[in-house]
Structure 1
């Protein structure tokens, strides 16, 4: 999936919905997004980070 595909898909979702990341031990809220520049011919990557705030 690329950013354009993700944005199109997310545009169809309710704007007030919470974004969660699924992991091995359950779900975590999305805490941030960063861009990792590609090197050596590799494409740029968008990285989603979980919210690490204690419950």
Structure 2
């Protein structure tokens, strides 16, 4: 999935819905994202980071 596809899909959901990341320990809210710029013909990557705030 690329950013264009992700944005198109997210636009079909309610704008107030929370974004969660699924992992081995359950679900975590999305805390942020970063861009990993690549070289050598590799595509750049967007990395999603969970919210690490204690419950």
Same fold (TM over 0.5): yes
Give 1:54's aligned residue: 54
Instruction: Report the aligned-residue RMSD.
Output: 0.6
Query: Any gaps of 5 or more consecutive residues in structure 2?
Result: none
List gaps (5 residues or longer) in structure 1.
Answer: none
Q: Say if 2:45 is the partner of 1:7.
A: no
Say yes or no: does 1:39 pair with 2:39.
yes
Runs of 4 or more off by more than 3 Å in structure 1? Answer: none
- Give the Cα separation in 2 of the matches to 1:39 and 1:29: 30
Q: How many positions carry a matched residue from both structures?
A: 55
TM-score between both structures, scaled by the size of structure 2: 0.96
